[in-house]
Structure 1
Amino acid sequence: MKKNNINMKRLIVIMIALTVGINTRTNGNNKFIHTPTPTDSLLTILTYGLPLFDEYNSRETVARKFGFRTIAVAGCVVTQELIDSVKKENKWVYQQLARRWGPNWETNYEQQARQWAAEQEKVAALVRKQSFIQAKDKALNSDYTTLRLQILPGTSHHTYQVKAYAWGKENGKEATWVYFTLKADMNTHTVTVLNDQLTAMD
């Protein structure tokens, strides 16, 4: 019961913060007006449960293109009250997204998310063929961790920026460490090292 109360309090705080942001995004008639600009604030869809880490990263990249982000307000153990609250809050956000992108926005989003996931798989396969990536992954596996890849669109439609990272202890500090920043070119099937200096993940 105590854990559920904490989850509800957390949800209420998030909703208050969202309401403040919402008030700045409406006109006097309480109708949403969207004029895309580089500084647009993101809408927020609340979630619960524990999604696969890589799947979450993939979908978030596409979500940003549609002008929203997702925030988990609970794990797998939730109350009906929390479920109803999330549903109520998300209903408003879904309405705004429909106004921006049309009634089929969710179908288009899911389609683009699948396409992006397929692209990422191809990029990841190319990167993981590199000998230095395999060597680092092997070294990390000896410490019971795994090298992960953050893949983002590059400067052209066939290039991608990739960060190879892992959680671990380096220089006496535990953090998520980036071991390599790479450029993957799917036209030439080449991987270029942009930075191999150890840095903490942003």
Structure 2
Amino acid sequence: MEVLSCIIKKYVMQNTSFKYHWRCKELGITHFAFADDLLLLCHGDIASISTLKSALDLLSSSSGLSINPSKSFVFFSGVPLISTGLKAADCNVLLDKITTRVTSKSLSYAGRLVLISTQLYWSRIFIIPKKVIDGINAHLRRFLWSGSRVAWSFFWKAKFEGGLGLPNLELANKAAILRHLWDRVENWEQLENLGSMV
């Protein structure tokens, strides 16, 4: 994803006819990547779509990775991009997905720990309301405690402290968002420096 991000930035900068999605133009956002999912954003014109497609084609020819058409979707206009903070109701789908995943598995204790750690990836992208985090923690706690005797107070502690070594969801969420903000600032400064050189 890091390589793809660099490729997309290069293609967008080279193609003067590229147009950003109208809600993403100010920050220069062209894509979001999380886990094995990728969301591409642009204006619906042929030049802009072709620019992103060319970036994907280059990644495919270089790495052997390719898009799976059966798992891909295209949305034209009317896609709600929330400019305000997420509300608890906006996260119901995420909460339902986590609940379904962790309640439909019959796993060993170690297997449950691994599954829990994989459910936290999306918290690196969005600012999650405290109410939702509490709800997720409650589901994960019930899932982990099924058949185990581990105290919940050791859930977030590092392994060298006698804990389970899983990330604190609330702190991890805040840290990830701060990292995104920092990346935005760095990208903005790079674009400004590039503009002053032209």
TM-score normalized by the length of structure 1: 0.30
Bigger relative contact order, structure 1 or 2 (CA pairs below 8 A, ≥6 apart): 2
The structure carrying a bigger strand percent of its residues is 1
TM-score normalized by the length of structure 2: 0.30
